[in-house]
Amino acid sequence: MNRYEEKDFLGNIFRQLPGESLPEDFRMHMMWKIEAEAARIRKRNERLGLLAVIFASLAIITLAVFAIIYLEIPKITISVSALSSLPFYFYIGGLVLLLLGGDYIMRKRYRQKHKENL
C-alpha cells in the first residue's frame, strides 16, 4: 500500500476502476505460443551447436593440413630400407591370417561335433 492511497480521494476512485478482462482461452493460446517458441529456440540452439562443431572441425583440419604441408610438423619420412622389408611383413601377415582361418574352421568343427553328441 503506498503513501497516498489510504486517505487519497483519487485513490478511492482508482480502486473502484473495473479491470479489463482477457478472453478465457488467453492462457491456453499463450502457452501454445510459448511451446512453439521453446521448440524454435531448441532447434536454433541445436543448429548453432552443429555449426559450432562443423566450424571447429574445419578449423582443426585446416590447422593440421597447414602444419603438415607448410610447417612440416611432424616430419614424416619413408626410408628405402623400410620398403625393402615389405615382403617379409606381408609374409608374416599372411601367416597370421592363415592361422586365424585354421582356428576358425577347427572351432566350427568342434562345436558341430559337440552338438551332435548332445
Segment 86 to 115, residues that bind other proteins, using CB under 8 A: none
Stretch near other proteins under the rule CB under 8 A, chosen from 19-27, 55-63, 84-92, 108-116: 19-27
Number of residues that bind other proteins (CB under 8 A): 31
Q: Applying CB under 8 A, does 6 fall inside the site for other proteins?
A: no
| DSSP secondary structure of 33-82 | HHHHHHHHHHHHHHHHHHHHHHHHHHHHHHHHHHIIIII--S-----HHH
Provide the mask over 36-55, with x wherever binding to other proteins is found by CB under 8 A and - wherever it is not: -xx--x--------------
Considering beta carbons, is residue 8 or 103 the nearer one to other proteins?
8
Give the C-alpha separation, 68 to 60, whole Å.
Answer: 12
Taking the least distance from each CB to other proteins, the nearer of 37 and 103 is 37
CB of 53 to other proteins, least distance (A): 22
Q: Residue 44: how many CA atoms within 13 Å on its side-chain side?
A: 6
